[in-house]
């Protein structure tokens, strides 16, 4: 059983009355401070597997505490907060049911966002975010300094790597749906997904366009999982899986090259190496599609600006870029941005072509 919010309930703000930013700068700072408290409540809700236990229907605090092996009084306080965050709703006093948002935290949910909470809340990442000031002072991510890169850190921890890959797959589904809706692939014979992980985005394109074949270009160790995934989607026979290093070369001759959430992982010099490899592989009629957060060039609020703080803390050189910074990078790589589309997932889609030599 899931509970939707009833008409009249606040569906956008999680601030109690008198706390929301109402022009008082003190209220604004308090609202910012509460971000940490909200996330810790979210992480505790996930770590205790509350959503999994509530998936089959409403439970009392005592029933849920027994299943979570938790203190009933403390759990009651957590659930009260989870209700304020619209993860659960009160069915009757002391009994809670999942909301639609809370269902996204179930392990078995198709679009589960649970792995994202696990990844964000694991101790090393949490500590890195908490020492952001030191990263700003030194310009060096503590994870990059200690482990080489965030990916190397994950690869030494199989359970964490599994959660990270699940989170990337969940995010990619949203990007894939937006890309297929926003871009016309009519007449495209071959799509190369560069750094495409398990092939979630490529699969969505091929399913929507039966006349198109695909190339998934990834590291050798990623391809076995990608093959299993593409087989499960029934399109493996239309895909070539190619192992390689996108810093040096990518498969030549595709009609469309897709790079989704790739460029933002790297500093400008490494990003240029990737972009130039793509440019070298393109023909005069090819086009490249880049999906990344494109930050406004002014002070407008944007989700990508907050994401950039995560990039700063956790990645060695990765960063989100403004429109101007991204387009300048493409130009340096010999690519021209022909069209930019804002996607519902908050990212931007840049269609680019190869500049003449």
Q: 68 Cβ partners below 8 Å, 6+ apart? A: 48, 49, 50, 53, 75
Strands lying side by side in the sheet with 190-194: 239-243, 213-218, 190-194, 256-260, 287-292, 348-354, 335-342
Instruction: Determine which one of 264, 302, 323, 339 is catalytic.
Output: 264
32: number of Cβ within 10 Å: 10
Burial of 34: CB neighbours in 10 Å, binned 0-12, 13-18, 19+: middle
Q: Is the Cβ–Cβ distance between 115 and 167 less than 8 Å?
A: yes
Residue 72 near residue 62, CB atoms below 8 Å: yes
Judge whether 264 counts as a catalytic residue. yes
Q: In whole angstroms, what is the distance from residue 134 CA to residue 141 CA?
A: 9
Catalytic residues: 264
């Amino acid at each position: 059983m899931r509970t939707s919010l009833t008409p009249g309930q606040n569906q956008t703000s999680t601030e109690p009355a008198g706390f929301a930013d109402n022009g008082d700068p003190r209220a604004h700072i308090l609202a910012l401070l509460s971000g940490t408290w909200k996330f810790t409540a979210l992480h505790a809700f996930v770590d205790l597997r509350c959503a999994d236990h509530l998936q089959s229907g409403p439970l009392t605090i005592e029933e849920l505490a027994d299943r979570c092996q938790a203190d009933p009084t403390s759990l009651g306080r957590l659930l009260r907060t989870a209700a304020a965050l619209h993860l659960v709703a009160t069915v009757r006093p002391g009994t809670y049911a999942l909301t639609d948002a809370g269902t996204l935290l179930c392990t078995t949910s198709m679009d589960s966002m649970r792995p994202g909470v696990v990844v964000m809340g694991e101790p090393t990442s949490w500590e890195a975010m908490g020492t952001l000031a030191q990263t700003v002072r030194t310009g060096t991510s503590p994870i990059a300094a200690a482990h080489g890169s965030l990916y190397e850190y994950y690869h030494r921890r199989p359970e964490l790597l599994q959660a990270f890959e699940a989170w990337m797959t969940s995010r990619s589904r949203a990007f894939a749906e937006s890309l297929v809706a926003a871009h016309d692939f009519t007449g495209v014979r071959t799509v190369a997904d560069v750094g495409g992980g398990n092939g979630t985005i490529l699969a969505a394109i091929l399913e929507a366009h039966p006349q198109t074949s695909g190339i998934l270009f990834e590291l050798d160790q990623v391809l076995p999982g990608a093959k299993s995934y593409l087989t499960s989607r029934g399109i493996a026979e239309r895909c070539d899986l190619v192992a390689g290093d996108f810093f040096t070369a990518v498969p030549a001759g595709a009609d469309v090259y897709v790079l989704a959430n790739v460029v933002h992982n790297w500093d400008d010099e490494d990003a240029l190496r990737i972009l130039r490899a793509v440019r070298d592989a393109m023909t005069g009629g090819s086009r490249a599609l880049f999906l990344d957060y494109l930050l406004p060039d002014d002070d407008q609020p944007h989700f990508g600006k907050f994401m950039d703080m995560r990039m700063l803390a956790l990645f060695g050189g990765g960063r989100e870029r403004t429109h101007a910074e991204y387009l300048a990078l493409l130009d340096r790589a010999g690519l021209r941005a022909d069209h930019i589309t804002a996607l519902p997932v908050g990212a931007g889609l840049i269609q680019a072509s190869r500049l003449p030599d």
